[in-house]
Amino acid sequence: MEVLVDHNGYAITGHIDGEISGLMESGKTHLLEIKSSSNKRFAELLKIGYERWDEKYKAQIHIYAVLRKLKRILVVVYNKDNSELYTERITVSHDYATKKLESAFTAIARAYAPARKCPTASWFEAKWCNYYKECWKP
């Protein structure tokens, strides 16, 4: 299912993994988010929980749930190395999702590029950046 939010002519789209209902813990429909992970990242997840594990993933599930008008999320993470599963039910934070959407649309609508985080194109972190070519165009 595609999720779309449009604000002043700027759109954000994404695809949810699904919606699930009939859980033993709750009869309410939940957003379903499924991820896979290496053993190292999975061990980190077990220690800190899903919402602290990856900020992008956290934002994604809360925004998708708000846009689908859902109040609960079920995340399932599959460990690719040993087939272990992690599940967690999360309550949606409308405030958090709204702040993330406002921040995204503010960034999209800027008339100028944000400041670079790396001082030069040869900086070691710049070389690994996904936006290296866009940021350091000749």
Overall pTM surpassing 0.85 (yes/no): no
Q: Within a 13 Å sphere around the CA of 101, how many CA atoms are in the beta-carbon half? A: 22
Q: What is the pLDDT of residues 99-118, one digit of tens each?
A: 999 998 888 888 787 788 88
Tens-digit pLDDT profile for residues 62-78: 999 999 999 999 999 99
Structural domains counted in the chain = 1
Residue 52's domain comprises 2-135
The 10s digit of each residue's pLDDT in 22-56 is 999 999 999 999 999 999 999 999 999 999 999 99
The alpha carbon torsion through 59, 63, 92, 102 (nearest 10 deg) reads 80
